[in-house]
Amino acid sequence: MIEVKNISKAFGEKQVLKDVSCLFERGKTNLIIGASGSGKSVLIKCIVGLHEVDKGEILYDNRDFKSMDIVKRREIRRELGMLFQASALFDSLTVEQNVMFPLIMYSGMSKSEMLDRVNFCLKRVNLVNANHLYPAELSGGMQKRVGIARAIALNPKYLFCDEPNSGLDPQTSILIDNLIQEITHEYDITTIVVTHDMNSVMEIGEKIFFIYKGELWWKGDKNSILETDNKEIGEFVYASHIMKLLKSKH
Amino acid sequence: MNIVFHFGRYFIMMYRVFSKPEKFGIYRENTFKEMISLGIGSMGIVAIISLFMGAVITIQTASNIDSPWIPSYTVGFTTRQSVILEFSPTIIALILAGKIGSNIASEIGTMRVTEQIDALEIMGINSASYLTLPKIIAALFINPFIIIYSMFLGMFGGWIVAVSTGIVTSNQYIYGLQYDFKPFDITYALIKTVVFAFVITSIPAYHGYYTRGGALEVGRSSTRAVVYSSIAILVVNYLLTQLLLI
């Protein structure tokens, strides 16, 4: 479980997050949604400590992340995995070396144990026979899968996904979404997904936080989001032609 | 104010770079890889520059000696002093600042803009140290060998041109190389080399590490890295010369 309490963040004069509080539950896919520039990516980066919050608290299972020194933060970070928008795979390493990287750094496993774990993770994300390929040789969807495999290599307690579907076709997007949800349930981890993709919302939105102009505007789940009469959510959800058509049919 | 900000941030980064590594084995392995990349990869360009540099110094010295009272071996002596004291340590450092510096800044800068550095941080790794320390250690270790190699080739280049053009005889040139040799000159050159090695790795690493934006900014960081490390080499060269030779 991750709890953020009243966090605010400004870049210079620009206030990006205003007093945001959320409770991200364990064993569920928690979605942070909102329009581009609403502050959702800044929120996830504040939670993992890539940006320092100006005020507020971030609690990882009641452990106050903000007040920790850098050494203790690194210990927490070893419990989390993150899938980045552009996958952020190390270009100089092969798929196998990318997934093995966190294991080499922290696991204390033997080479053969690490290799077994790498193959298990790659099989889990349905990526076989790609061990010796470099990231540049992979498609966008394959890169995301490697990113997920790397994120789960150390059995994380927390999984963060920043726009996991960006640049992917609708079918691959659904595969990645389902994979994230399956892993969340299978390992009973706290997963936070930042997205603006309504397909993802409807596919895996077990808990949804809608950020609007840096504020937590609404929270609910994939069923309640279609029924809310909140104007800003309505504009976000029914922005696309297909959603408008669906709405008119109902 | 801007300069103070950059100095402050540079020293904070260096503090992080020299903090205890997560896993010595990985750092050691990376240091060896960097030695090959930074050291062996620079041998070719260093050889070409050094040979021609020595040849040109020899010709210029010979062409400027008009008086019959100045002995012929002065050509070898001057070539040796110029190569050891200044050309090999400083000019090669400037060349390496361009080659290695731009390479380091663009490599780390690209990792920054593609979120690879964020990925390292998320894994709980001290990214500044992981990416920079092996490069600095590798350069500190390998650059003195490169400079000694450059000195040898510089003097050899001078010998080739001296003998092939008949400016001075081989014996006179070699006598000049040996004449009034002070071992401290080599020490002085190697002290400079080690300091320059730190400059040409740490300054580009700093510029790469704090790159913001996209491909355009990576290019700008790379350019800034070369410019500032070259300026730093010239300033440090003056300070060390003042300190060690006067």
Of B22, B115, B124, the CB nearest to A84: B115
Testing the interface with A: which of B20, B116, B123 to mutate, by most A Cβ within 10 A? B123
Question: What's the pLDDT score for residue A107?
Answer: 84
What CATH fold (topology level) applies to the domain A2-79+160-249? Answer: Rossmann fold (3.40.50)
Question: What's the pLDDT score for residue B24?
Answer: 87
* Cα gap A15→A42, rounded to integer Å: 11
Number of A to B CB contacts under 8 A, please give it.
Answer: 53
Beta strands in A12-110 (DSSP E): 14-24, 29-33, 55-60, 63-64, 80-83
Comparing CA positions, the residue from A212, A172, A177, A215 lying closest to residue A193 is A177
Residue contact B116–A91, C-beta within 8 A: yes
Residue contact A77–B26, C-beta within 8 A: no
B30 to chain A nearest CA, in Å?
12
ipTM of the complex: 0.86
B74 to chain A nearest CA, in Å?
51
A78 to chain B nearest CA, in Å?
5
Residue A208, token pair as written in the block = 């949804």
Residue contact A105–B125, C-beta within 8 A: yes
CATH 3.40.50.300 placement within chain A: 2-79+160-249
Of A88, A105, A106, the CB nearest to B118: A88
B45 to chain A nearest CA, in Å?
24
3-state helix vs strand vs coil in chain B, percent to 5: 85, 0, 15
Question: What's the pLDDT score for residue B236?
Answer: 96
A220 to chain B nearest CA, in Å?
28
Provide DSSP, B167-196.
SS-HHHHHHHHHTT--HHHHHHHHHHHHHH
Q: Which residues contact B243 (CB under 8 A, 6 or more apart)?
A: none
Sheet holding A2-11, edge to edge: A14-24, A2-11, A55-60, A63-64
Question: What's the pLDDT score for residue B169?
Answer: 93
Residue contact A105–B22, C-beta within 8 A: yes
Residue B103, token pair as written in the block = 């390479």
Of B23, B114, B125, the CB nearest to A86: B114
Comparing CA positions, the residue from B50, B46, B41 lying closest to residue B103 is B41
Question: What's the pLDDT score for residue B1?
Answer: 57
Collect all residues of chain B within an 8 Å Cβ-Cβ radius of residue A134: none
User: Domain extents for chain B?
Assistant: 23-48+89-154+182-245
SS3 of residue B212 by DSSP = coil
Comparing CA positions, the residue from B176, B210, B156 lying closest to residue B81 is B176
From first to last of its 250 residues, chain A has per-residue pLDDT tens of 999 999 999 998 899 999 999 999 999 999 999 888 889 989 999 999 999 999 999 999 999 998 888 888 888 888 999 999 888 999 999 999 999 999 998 888 899 999 999 999 999 888 888 999 999 999 988 999 999 999 999 989 999 999 888 878 888 888 888 989 999 999 999 999 999 888 888 888 899 999 999 999 989 888 888 878 888 888 887 777 777 777 777 6
Of B22, B119, B125, the CB nearest to A88: B119
Question: What's the pLDDT score for residue A30?
Answer: 94
Residues B55, B161 contacting (CB under 8 angstroms)? yes
Collect all residues of chain A within an 8 Å Cβ-Cβ radius of residue B34: none
Q: Which residues contact A139 (CB under 8 A, 6 or more apart)?
A: none
DSSP state, residue B87: I
B114 to chain A nearest CA, in Å?
6
Collect all residues of chain A within an 8 Å Cβ-Cβ radius of residue B114: 86, 88, 91
Of B26, B116, B124, the CB nearest to A77: B124
Closest residue of chain B to A49, computed from CA coordinates: B122
* Cα gap B246→B243, rounded to integer Å: 6
Residue B126, token pair as written in the block = 């001290």
Closest residue of chain A to B24, computed from CA coordinates: A105
Question: What's the pLDDT score for residue A167?
Answer: 79
Question: What's the pLDDT score for residue A228?
Answer: 80
**Cα–Cα–Cα angle for B236, B239, B243, nearest 5°?**
135
Question: What's the pLDDT score for residue A250?
Answer: 66
Collect all residues of chain B within an 8 Å Cβ-Cβ radius of residue A136: none
Question: What's the pLDDT score for residue B161?
Answer: 95
Which parts of chain B sit beneath pLDDT 70?
A: 1
Question: What's the pLDDT score for residue A223?
Answer: 84
